[in-house]
Amino acid sequence: MEGTKINKKYKDRLFRLRFGSEEYKEDILSLYNALNGTSYDNPDDLTITTIGDVIYIKMKNDVSFLLDGNIPLWEQQGSVNPNMPVRGLMYFGDLYDQYIKVNKLNIYGKKLQKIPTPQYIVFYNGTEDYAPVTKLRLSDAFINETDNGEFEWTATVYNLNRGKNDELLMKCRPLYEYMELINRIRDNQGDGMDIKNSVDAAVDSCIADGIMKDFLIKHKAEVMSVCLTEFDEKVYTEGIREEGREEGREEGREEGREEGREEGLRALVCSLKDFLPDFESVYIAVVKNEEYANISREQARKYY
């Protein structure tokens, strides 16, 4: 791939910059209120931390109980990922472990210890068509199907693209403005602009129209840095896969089909791991390639 260096996590980082920063706690509280139908107005009560790509919100002292005893966790995704429930289960395992230790809860005694209710929200703004709101369930991943509900974990996915959740966007101006920037970049690309000019023009037009004006003026260099990337994740991923296939073909002609296929796998894994967050994500991308659909995790991990 030639041209602008790819930074596949730009949307995650831009979302965290906007909704995971102490500097913009008013916007974070606005999004919380829009999601939950609440009207809290003291951002100083918010404490923001991150776990990997996830934004974790808690309230100082007893104020947390004014928020219905919830622990909200937010994550942004630029591609459809059915594995969010198991990821959420892992995140909350760590959170509850911390909560129990900090609050010195005796979970081995006879008294029932109350813990905050989990809220796991995923904001999707990729280019694939997706329902406005989707409830992903851990049980869908069980090898042996069951509908008894005894072991369940969910992730609620909100599609932020145009026409999908406009009411939510209208309730939270910062979220609307965030998506307006994303949409303007996409629109510029659709008009034939390259990625650099698409981002530059979108940022300048948003500033001119008062959309995230102060934020973009202050963080323009950072926003430009994280947005100067291949905007369409699917196109980039397919390009990487094609590079792997082509390299495999070249090696195959020189050293034989099987050796070439193995080299293609190596090239594909090495390319994918530069922009995907973990091995599991890389493996899922690899097996979507028809040529490597039957590759085992062990075979792929050799080159990770």
Query: Is 88:73 a contact under the CB 8 Å cutoff?
Result: yes
Q: Residue 252 has what pLDDT?
A: 47
Could you tell me if 251 and 119 lie in one domain?
no
Query: Is 113:107 a contact under the CB 8 Å cutoff?
Result: yes
Q: With 70 as the cut, is the pLDDT of residue 222 above it?
A: yes
Q: Could you give the CA distance from residue 176 to residue 167 in angstroms, rounded to a whole number? A: 10
**Which residues lie below 8 Å from residue 236, measured CB to CB, with a gap of 6+?**
1, 6, 8, 230, 275
Query: Is 8:236 a contact under the CB 8 Å cutoff?
Result: yes
Could you tell me if 113 and 206 lie in one domain?
no
The predicted-structure confidence for 247-292, as pLDDT tens digits, reads as follows 555 554 555 556 667 777 877 777 676 556 678 777 877 777 767 7
Task: Give the domain range for residue 215.
Answer: 185-226
Q: What is the dihedral of CA 98, 103, 104, 106, to 10 degrees?
A: -90
The predicted-structure confidence for 24-40, as pLDDT tens digits, reads as follows 888 888 998 999 888 88
Which of 11-41 are b and which e, b meaning 16 or more Cβ less than 10 Å from the residue's Cβ? bbbbbbbbbbbeebbebbbbbbebbeeeebe
In a domain, 178, yes or no: no
Could you tell me if 189 and 86 lie in one domain?
no
Supply φ then ψ for residue 47, to 5 degrees. Answer: -120, 125
Could you tell me if 20 and 164 lie in one domain?
yes
In a domain, 4, yes or no: no
The predicted-structure confidence for 8-21, as pLDDT tens digits, reads as follows 444 446 788 788 77
Could you tell me if 259 and 293 lie in one domain?
yes
Mean pLDDT of all residues in 233-238: 48
In a domain, 180, yes or no: no
Could you tell me if 51 and 109 lie in one domain?
yes
In a domain, 220, yes or no: yes
> Per the structure, how many domains does the chain have?
3
Could you tell me if 146 and 19 lie in one domain?
yes
Query: Is 83:285 a contact under the CB 8 Å cutoff?
Result: no
Could you tell me if 143 and 208 lie in one domain?
no
Could you tell me if 240 and 282 lie in one domain?
yes
Q: Residue 228 has what pLDDT?
A: 67
Q: With 50 as the cut, is the pLDDT of residue 1 above it?
A: no
Could you tell me if 269 and 222 lie in one domain?
no
